[in-house]
Amino acid sequence: MQFSLTSEQEMLRDTVREVTRAKVWPRAAEIDRTAEFPWDIAHQFRDLGLMGLAVPEEYGGAGMGVLSCCLAVEEVARACASSSLILADQELGMLPILVGASEEQKRAWLPRFASGQELIAFALTEPSAGSDPAHMKTAAVRDGDHYVLNGRKVFITNGSVAGGFTLFAATEPGAGSKGISGFFIEKDTPGLSVGRHEEKMGIRGSPTVELILEDCRVPAANLIGREGDGLKIALITLDQSRPAIGAQALGIAAGALEYAAGYAKQREQFGKPIAEFQGLQFMFADMATKVEASRLLVYKAAALIDGQGKSRGRLPTEINKISAMAKMMASDTAMSVTTDAVQILGGYGFMRDYPVERMMRDAKITQIYEGTNQIQRLVIARALLA
C-alpha cells in the first residue's frame, strides 16, 4: 500500500508543524510543570479547524479522514503529548456517535464538537473493568422516557473540561458483552459530577478524572444505537481510534530522536562531537528505523480505515489487526526511543531543563491506554489465528 500524501494532507501537516513550533513547543514544559489544561492551544486548534478532521463535512467536520487526523496528532506530539491528546481524544469521544448513532443524532450532536466549540470525552473504564469492559458495574435502568444511571468511571481523559460524554453502562446486568449500551450525556446532566483528579507521571496537561453518576437521568433519546450494542460500538471505536494513539506515540518518538540527534552533534567529549562515536551512531540507526517502521504501520492502519468510507460500523478483521499492530509498535517504539534519548543526553537527559525526560514520561501511557499492549497482542494473535 502506498502512503504518498495528497497535496491537501501535505499542506495540513506543514501548517500543523509550523503552528506547533510557534505556539506549542514554547509552552510544552510549562504545561507539564503546571499540569493545567492548555485552553489557548485548544482554541488555536479550533480556529485552524483541526478538531474534527476525521468527521464528515455533513456533521460539521473537515472530512479529511483518519490519516489526516494522525498527521496532525503526530506533529503536535513531537513537541507536547498533552496538547496532541486534545486532537486524539476529541476524535475518540465523537467516534461512538459516528459508529452507532442515528442520522438525526449525528446531526444534532456532532457539529459543536467537530467544530471545536466544545470538547467531548469517552467514558468506558471503571475501577474493576479496564481490559474487561464487559463486566462493568455502572448500571442504566429504563424509567419511562429516561434511563437512570448509577456508577463510577475512572481515567477519563479531559473529563473535567468536556461539554459532553459518550458513556457506556450495563442496561442488562449479568448479560456480559450483550448487556452493555452506549449513551450521549451532556456535562450539566443532574446526577453527573466530576470526582477525583489524578496526579500523573506524564501527559500532565491533559486532565484525567473520575466521573460519578448518582441517579443520573439521561433521556432515552440519547441511547446510541440499540440496547446491547454498546460494547460492539466501543470496540469498533477503539479499532478506529488506536491509530491516533499510535500517531501520538510516533510523534513523541520522532521528537525525542530529533532532539537527541541535535544534541549529539553539539555535545563534545574526548575532543569531538559524541555523534561521531560509533556506539551512539548504532543507537541512532536503531531509533530511526523503529520510528520509520512505526510510521508506516500507523499510516497503513489509518488508510485502511479511511478506505472503508462510511462503513464505520462494519470494520473487517484486517483493520482490527493492523490497528492493534500500529498502536503496539508505535508505543513500544516511543518508550524505547525516549529511553535511548535520555541515555544519549546522559546526566542532562535526567534533568527537567531538557525535554527528553518529559517525553519519556509521556511515552509510557501510550503503552497502557486504549488497550494495554498485552491486550493488543491478544487482538493480533486472535485475528491472525482465527
Q: Is the dihedral of CA 359, 332, 202, 250 positive or negative?
A: positive
Q: How many CB atoms are located within 10 Å of the residue 271 CB?
A: 6
- Rounded to the nearest 10°, the torsion over CA 288, 66, 373, 326 is -40
Phi and psi at 273, nearest 5°, equal -60, 140
Class of residue 49 by CB neighbours under 10 A (exposed 0-12, middle 13-18, buried 19+) = middle
Which of 74, 91, 210, 370 is labelled catalytic? 370
Q: Which amino acid is at 138?
A: T
Q: Is the dihedral of CA 319, 307, 93, 249 positive or negative?
A: positive
Buried b (16+ CB within 10 A) or exposed e, 290-320: bbeebbebbbbbbbbbbeeeeebeebeeebb
- The label of the residue with cell 532532539 reads 259
d(CA 91, CA 80): 18
Find out whether 77 and 252 touch, Cβ atoms under 8 Å.
yes
Active site residue 370: yes
E strands in the chain: 120-123, 139-143, 146-157, 164-170, 180-186, 192-197, 208-219, 223-224, 268-269, 272-273
The catalytic residues are: 370
